[in-house]
Each structure stands twice: as C-alpha cells, then as structure tokens.
Amino acid sequence: MALFVQIGATRDGLDPYLHAARAHAMQAVLIETPDYIRLRRALGRQEFDITLAVEHPAHEDEVVAALEQLPDIPSIILAGFERYIYNVYRIAHRLHIPPCDEKTHFAPPDKAMQRTMLTRKHIPIQQPGYITLEHGMLTEQELASLAYPVVVKPVDGGGGLGIFLAYNFAEVKAALARLHATANYDGEAFSGVIIEEYIRGTEYSIQGVAHDGRSQILALCKKVILIEPIEAENQITLYSFREAGHLASAGDQADAATQQFSQACVDAFGYRNGPFHIDMIETSDGYAFLEMGFRLSGNGLAKLVRLVSGYDWGEEVFSIFTGVRAAPPLQIDKALRFGGQITATSQKALDTAHQLQEQGYAIEIDLFPSVSAPVATRSLEADLSRHLGTRGRIIVRASSMEEVERILERCSS
C-alpha cells in the first residue's frame, strides 16, 4: 500500500489530507512532537494509520530517521501545519517525491524572503514598507524609513503567533522582547523578524491550488480580524491580532482583479503545483500583498471552502500529485452559495446559534472538546496560547454575503 506522510498535525480539528489519503487507498502517517501527539489524543482527534513521534519535526535528519521505520518510501509528503512546510520540501527533494518539482526545485520562501523577492524582481504587486532583522538589536534610526504604526512578526511563525502592532519605537522594542521570549511551535526559536508598515483596509485571503503553474481560486474570504490589547513590560501596552471569522464565496465568483492578483503571486514565487493561501489587504489602490502560504489554511477553512465551492481542498491537492481523482467536486446548493464562520468564545454565542438553527437558518455548530490543561512544556507553549480555550465554531450558509454577515453578527453580539 502506498504511503502518505504528513508532518505536523492540523490545529483546527479537521484532517483533510487524512481523508484524501484514505480515498486514494493510501496508508496515512503523521509525524509530530511527543507532547502534541498526547494533546491531540486528549482532544479526541482522528488517528492516522501510523503516528511517529519526533522531538523536532522541523529538523530534516530527525524526520528522515523516523521515515526509515516505514516499510517503503512515501509517495507524497505534505505539511499539516505551517511550521513544517520548509522541512517538507527539503525532505521531498531528498527523496524525489511530491511536492518536489524536479524542474524548478521550488523551496517555499519565508515571509521576509517573499518581500525581498517581490522587491528584487520588481514585481508590480503592492506591499508595505519593511525591514528584516536577523539579530535582536535595533536602533530608532533603522526604523526611520517606516511610518507608524508597524507590525512586528516572525518570518517563520504561523497561526498568528508572535505578531504585534506597535505605534512607537518603545512599543517596537517591547514587541521584540516579547517575541524573543516566545517559542515557536515545537519549542524552537524563530529564525528572524520582519517589521513592516501596517496597512489599513479590509483583509482578505485566497484559498487555492496551483497546477502546472496555473492558479485556481477555490474560495475568497473576507476576514474578521480583532486587534486586542496585551500588557508588556514597563507599563507598555501592545496589540495582537486574532482571526475571529471569515465570510466566504466560491472562487468562480472572484473578479478579474482577484484572479490576476492570485496568478501574479503564483508566478512571482515560481510555485508550480500544490495548495496555497494568499493574505492581502484591499486598499484604494487595489490589493496589497501580506504573505503567501504554500499549504492548506487552518482555522476551519478547509470545511468552509467545501461548503461554498464544492471542492474538497485536500482531494484537489492529492489529485494534482497522483494524477488520479478519487472524488469529484460536490454540487452545492445555489440557494446557499455564500458562507461564513466565527470562533465562539462564549456559551452565549453558542446558545444564540442554536436558537437560530431551530428557527430554520442554515447553521452548523462544531463544538470543541474541553481538556484538562496539559503540562506547559516549551513545545506546547504556542499551542496553549493560540489554539486552545475557545468553545467551538459557528458556520453559516445563506443566499447572500449580507445575510451571512447579519447572522454571524447576531451570534457574536
């Protein structure tokens, strides 16, 4: 039986690659840290056929040593979580398996490299002013080229971890101190920091796949982003970002400007085959590029993509890499072609959703299991701060985006 390997578990409770692997009659293997494997089981997540514990899934040699326990070379290796996308490509090239592209030898650029590539190649994609740091020292003069407020973030983070909004140099220094004290997923340090101008506008994300270098948008999401205050040292207040919800429409409804923007990003980074998501801000001058991820989005978006478009995102990826389609796209209800979701942080939100559900609204409620707080080891610090503590997810479908937004506002009020 062919083997599929996933490095890193998803954090949203969905397992689109696991389902796709089983549809393709492949044995599914998960590689994760011992601590997160225990947490995943406590959360009652689906079991892979084989689970291998690796202390550092971001380290190539450790993962390759674990793979030697398998009966055969994997047919496909993919990342279930952003932290491990870079190692997936290193190993794929080493083993000559998808998503390795023997023609281009694509390697996913981190957030700083993406900015640098757009600048050096003179790609006509709007992006904020920025500087990158490979060390912890910074002078106010080095920031003189940027306009406040600025966003301070790691170049290889994920899930909103370690991203801060700063309005002056004192806050930037506090953000850097906080960031340097923060562990990445699996407990390791971040490899660098980028500071960029904050762009005001409405944030969107594209969920799609690239096939032979052609971009296909599966869904377009308008994001609900909350900016929340957090206390730092010396009575300084910082602000962090939380992705609280999404309003989604199918990719075939995206306008020409969005289609062109998506293709321009795929072209800019030489991405030929596989999943991607693109985060951008809509401004008066069009879209401004924030970042591109070469994986499936988390935060429940794989399910939302399927609800509004009919596409199983994981299956689309497997179809590209195997050349075989195990399941065709679903026919969606055209009367409910728009969708949205919010993360429920209170019982009141869930109660309201239940009441609306009983009144006949197209609402799904995914409850998250509550578990006793695990021991806060360094490899779990990021997950305990970013991915636990919410009560569930409220998912809505309706005939218009305005109706979706109205229903979600009633739940979140």
Render pLDDT for 27-59 as a digit per residue (tens, 0 to 9).
Answer: 999 999 999 999 999 899 999 999 999 999 999
Percent of the chain with pLDDT over 90: 75
At position 34, the amino acid (one-letter code) is P
What is the pTM for the complete model shown? 0.94
Could you tell me the two tokens for 324? 């075989």
At position 287, the amino acid (one-letter code) is Y
Q: String of b and e for 124-147 (b: at least 16 CB within 10 Å)?
A: ebbbbebbbbeeeebeeeebeebe
pLDDT at residue 375 in the model: 65
pLDDT at residue 164 in the model: 94
User: By the 8 A CB rule, do 381 and 183 touch?
Assistant: yes
CA distances from residue 87 to 3, 27, 82, 193, 322 in whole angstroms, order as listed: 18, 21, 10, 19, 21
For residue 371, is pLDDT > 90?
no
Q: Which of 350, 340, 341 is nearest to 400 (CA)?
A: 340
**Main-chain dihedrals φ then ψ at residue 347, nearest 5 degrees:** -70, -30
Q: What is the mean pLDDT of the chain?
A: 92
Q: Which of 56, 12, 9 is nearest to 29 (CA)?
A: 9
What pLDDT, in 10s, does the model give residues 61-99? 999 999 999 999 999 999 999 999 999 999 999 999 999
Separation of alpha carbons 155 and 270, rounded Å = 19
Coil vs helix vs strand at 353:
helix
At position 137, the amino acid (one-letter code) is M
Number of helices (H), then strands (E), belonging to the chain: the values are: 12, 16
Average pLDDT over residues 155-178: 90
Go through the chain and tell me how many residues it has: 413
pLDDT at residue 387 in the model: 64
User: By the 8 A CB rule, do 319 and 180 touch?
Assistant: no
User: By the 8 A CB rule, do 167 and 237 touch?
Assistant: no
CA distances from residue 405 to 213, 308, 381 in whole angstroms, order as listed: 34, 15, 33
